[in-house]
Amino acid sequence: MSIFTSYFKLTAEYRWMLIAAFVFNLGFYMLIPFLAGYLKQDLLLSATLVGVVLGVRSFCQQGLFLVGGLLADLFGEKKLIVIGCLLRAIGFCLFLFADVTAILFLAAFLTGFAGALFTPAAQAYFSKQQVLSRAQMFSLVGVARNGGELLGPVCGLLLLNISFDILCIVSALPFAMFAVVFTLLIPQHQKKQQSDKANVSSSSKQGGVKAMVAGVLSNREFLKFSAVMAGYFMLINQISFAIPMHIVNQQGAPQDVAWVLTLCAVISIFLQFPVTKLCERWLSPKQWISIGIALMGVSFLTLIPSWPYSQGVLYYLPLSLLAVIFTVGTMVSFPFIMSQISELAKDKSVATHYGFFYLFAGVGLIAGSSVVGVAFDLSNISEHLAWYCLIFIGLITAILNTLLMSSATQEDESQTTSPSTH
């Protein structure tokens, strides 16, 4: 079954959701990569203020994922997706008035909070489709998002050449448009509405938010998995952090960074779905998660040897090898990680589980950047210290996931056999 066949097998609501996943990243990457430059160079804001503004946006997204997940389980995913879309559109438009500090911070807050609202809701929504396997569904989501991430900066650069105001308005349009689409065109099936109401009623009777949080905190297997997966997120951001730092240190050019990012995106767009289907034929999802994370870490080995090429096509060989191995690692792990969360949630407060998971992800992103930053500062100890750290993180995370998988299997076996002993 090809990616297009699989796409058209989905019901209309999920086809629209995949288009939305593409357009969301398209709109986001049209504006956000150019925001810091505009604030610093055009508005002449201090680097400190720009850093605080971008930090507020990131914190409001990463730090409030749990709030978004809880609200999605209480009021339904669709409502949170619509509200998130509207807030992101408003936030992007408010950057038109970025010369007013209070409005600038409001725009940053709304932009981040919008992501916190619709991301867990969308993930929970995707996990509930029943036509494809969950891993295949999330691989399609990955393809859509990578497509938006690839085209977004190109469109943003073209619009920025016209004016920043036009860029803000056009990047806000996809979110406003899909708020209308979700409201009017995506059917809210009666059966699902009844199920949602039953869930809300049940949650309320048992203590509402407290009951959902308690349910997640008592899910030890999920918490262990989320903690281990912080290692995955320590690695996932390094293509856009460690690699640019390395290229700058080597007096490389901006197009070197663009080459790595583009290669990763193109590989994912064309190979993510077939790779996921291939992986489902052999081994288990948990095994592929370990293999993928190990590959992500091992990919940094390509930067340790002293390559003899300083120019020409062969100059890109080590960076290209890294991009290929790293992307293969993400392709064989990401869909199974996302599907594993809903599996561990056991169809109870799924969005809240995703919200909790993204808290661990946020810790991993911050920790990964911090570790690599320190490693670069201590490069006098070893010029490859950052790569040794990332290789270690990849391997230890893979080992911990394998051990966790083994302990979970033993627990399941003991639970299966325990009734017969009574």
**DSSP code per residue over 95-109:** GGGTTSHHHHHHHHH
Same domain, 33 and 175: yes
- In the chain the first and final C-alpha atoms are separated, in Å, by 48
Same domain, 201 and 250: no
pLDDT at 412: 56
pLDDT at 224: 95
Mean pLDDT of 126-131: 89
Model confidence at 418, pLDDT cuts 50, 70, 90, reads low
Alpha helices in 45-100 (DSSP H): 47-62, 65-75, 77-94
Structural domain count of the chain: 2
Same domain, 227 and 347: yes
Same domain, 149 and 247: no
Task: Provide the whole-model pTM.
Answer: 0.83
Same domain, 276 and 400: yes
Between the ranges 3-17, 85-99, 299-313, 340-354, where is the mean pLDDT highest? 85-99
What is the rounded average pLDDT for all residues in the chain?
A: 85
Same domain, 227 and 88: no
Distance from C-alpha of 331 to C-alpha of 236, rounded to nearest angstrom? 11
85's tokens: 């879309």
DSSP 349: S
In a domain, 418, yes or no: no
pLDDT of 201 strictly over 70: no
pLDDT of 78 strictly over 90: no
Reduce the secondary structure of 366-391 to three states and give it as a string. Answer: HHHHHHHHHHHHCCCCCCCHHHHHHH
Distance from C-alpha of 282 to C-alpha of 398, rounded to nearest angstrom? 18
Model confidence at 421, pLDDT cuts 50, 70, 90, reads very low
In a domain, 337, yes or no: yes
Same domain, 93 and 1: yes
**Greatest Cα-to-Cα distance within the chain, rounded to the nearest angstrom:** 76
| CATH code at position 213 | 1.20.1250.20
pLDDT digits (tens, 9 = 90+) for 90-115: 999 999 999 999 999 999 999 999 99
Contacts 24+ apart (CB under 8 A), 379-384: 379/249, 384/303, 384/304
In a domain, 420, yes or no: no
pLDDT at 365: 82
297's tokens: 């870490």
Same domain, 197 and 215: no
Distance from C-alpha of 70 to C-alpha of 66, rounded to nearest angstrom? 6
Q: In Å, what is the CA distance from 3 to each residue of 225, 269, 391?
A: 29, 10, 33
Domain range for 191: 1-205
pLDDT digits (tens, 9 = 90+) for 145-199: 999 988 888 888 889 889 999 999 999 998 998 888 888 866 554 344 445 545 5
In a domain, 118, yes or no: yes
Distance from C-alpha of 151 to C-alpha of 156, rounded to nearest angstrom? 9
286's tokens: 């948990």
pLDDT of 23 strictly over 60: yes
